[in-house]
């Protein structure tokens, strides 16, 4: 396995490393991380069993494959510090908006680039990872990277023009599901179910329903119809969702993201 370096160790980077290490797809001894807030970095790296580095130049020098995981607005300043030593490295961008073309404009052909949009369920081995089709990794590097991410979820390839909408759904989507889970748990608590039990019921229901869609390949409407008995309880709940604009709200949440990306 190649030496891996993370520039940035926020929630997403932490989730990835925890997934890679937990699945045994990566040896923690081969992973290093740099972040400007050293106290927090030291704590996170200690929890993960990886090495904290106190200088971004040292990180780049010690790494073969570098994950750019800092905030998008921090990337240019971070890379300016290492322009002379990052040449010839493989750079993996997991920063929103920083795809292949943007890195090429900044660094030219001096590095090999792959843009990946991950999501937080990677932490429990259920991630969705969108790989931009356009990339400049070697075949060996790309196969290794796909294998690494496949150990903690599924990998889907998309053309550059679809990366924004793909990440709006799979990258932001977990937060929307969390809001829905909290709402249904609140309803359960309202009628007497203890809070911890409500969260278990709702989370397992969501997991099972999602797995049913994914594993069977059936249309969600077909699976919904199978639960909705004539004149039954479920169809009344579905009617209430429709009356309150549930579908429209879901679509509007994605539209709000796309409007922001376009602005």
Tell me, yes or no, whether 102 lies in a domain: yes
Asked whether residue 255 is assigned to any structural domain, the reply reads: yes
Give the C-alpha separation, 197 to 97, whole Å.
Answer: 39
Of 160, 182, 216, the last residue of a domain is 160
Q: Please tell me the distance from the alpha carbon of residue 226 to that of residue 223, in angstroms, as a whole number.
A: 5
* Same-domain check for residues 31 and 84: yes
Q: Name the average pLDDT for the chain.
A: 95
Domain contains 21: yes
Do residues 198 and 177 both lie within one domain? yes
The CATH number assigned to the domain holding 108 equals 3.40.50.720
∠ CA 232-238-241, nearest 5°, is 150
The domain spanning residue 241 has which CATH number?
1.10.3730.10
56, 124: one domain = yes
Q: Which domain holds residue 229?
A: 173-262
Distance of CA 195 to the CA centre of its chain: 28
Cα separation, 210 vs 120, in Å, equals 16
Q: What is the pLDDT of residues 164-207, one digit of tens each?
A: 999 999 999 999 999 999 999 999 999 999 999 999 999 999 99
Give the separation between CA 139 and CA 125, rounded to whole angstroms: 25
User: How many domains does the structure of the chain reveal?
Assistant: 2
Same domain? For 133 and 181 the reply is no
- For residue 167, being part of any structural domain is answered with no
Residue 166 placed within a domain:
no
pLDDT at 108: 86
| pLDDT number for residue 123 | 86
pTM metric for this prediction: 0.92
Task: Identify whether residues 114 and 177 lie together within a single domain.
Answer: no
| 3-state helix/strand/coil string of the chain | CCCEEEECCCHHHHHHHHHHHHCCCCCHHHEEEECCCHHHHHHHHHHHCCEEECCHHHHHHCCCEEEECCCHHHHHHHHHCCCCCCCCCEEEECCCCCCHHHHHHHHCCCCEEEEEECCHHHHHCCEEEEEECCCCCCHHHHHHHHHHHHCCEEEEEECHHHHHHHHHHHCCHHHHHHHHHHHHHHHHHHCCCCHHHHHHHHHHHHHHHHHHHHHHCCCHHHHHHHHCCCCCHHHHHHHHHHHCCHHHHHHHHHHHHHHHHHC
Where does a domain end: 116, 137, 160? 160
Same domain, 53 and 107: yes
Q: Tell me the mean pLDDT in the region 241-262.
A: 96
Q: Count of CB atoms within 10 A of residue 140's CB?
A: 10
CB 90 within 8 A of CB 141: yes
- CA–CA distance, 85 with 65 (Å, rounded to integer): 13
Residues in the chain: 263
**Does 208 reside within a domain?**
yes
Same domain, 14 and 134: yes
Residues 2-31 pLDDT 10s: 899 999 999 999 999 999 999 999 999 999
Q: At which of 109, 135, 160 does a domain end?
A: 160
Pair (133, 177) in one structural domain:
no
């Amino acid at each position: 396995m190649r030496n891996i370096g993370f520039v940035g160790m926020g929630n997403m980077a932490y989730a990835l490393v925890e997934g890679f290490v937990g699945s045994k797809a990566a040896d923690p001894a081969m992973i290093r991380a740099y972040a400007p807030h050293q106290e927090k970095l030291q704590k996170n790296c200690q929890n993960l069993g990886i090495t904290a580095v106190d200088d971004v130049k040292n990180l780049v020098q010690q790494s073969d494959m570098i994950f750019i995981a800092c905030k998008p607005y921090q990337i240019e300043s971070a890379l300016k510090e290492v322009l002379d030593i990052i040449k010839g490295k493989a750079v993996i961008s997991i920063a929103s908006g920083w795809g292949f073309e943007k890195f090429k404009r900044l660094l030219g052909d001096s590095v090999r680039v792959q843009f990946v949009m991950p999501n937080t369920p990677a932490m429990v081995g259920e991630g969705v990872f969108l790989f931009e089709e356009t990339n400049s990794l070697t075949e060996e590097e790309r196969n290794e990277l796909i294998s690494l991410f496949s150990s903690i979820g599924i990998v889907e390839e998309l053309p550059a023009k679809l990366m924004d909408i793909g990440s709006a759904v799979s990258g932001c989507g977990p937060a929307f599901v969390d809001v829905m889970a909290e709402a249904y748990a609140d309803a359960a608590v309202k009628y007497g179910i203890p809070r911890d039990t409500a969260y278990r019921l709702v989370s397992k229901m969501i997991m099972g329903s999602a797995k049913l869609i994914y594993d069977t390949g059936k249309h969600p409407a077909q699976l919904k119809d199978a639960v909705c008995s004539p004149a039954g309880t479920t169809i009344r709940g579905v009617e209430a969702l429709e009356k309150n604009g549930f579908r429209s709200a879901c679509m509007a949440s994605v539209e709000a993201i796309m409007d922001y990306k376009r602005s």
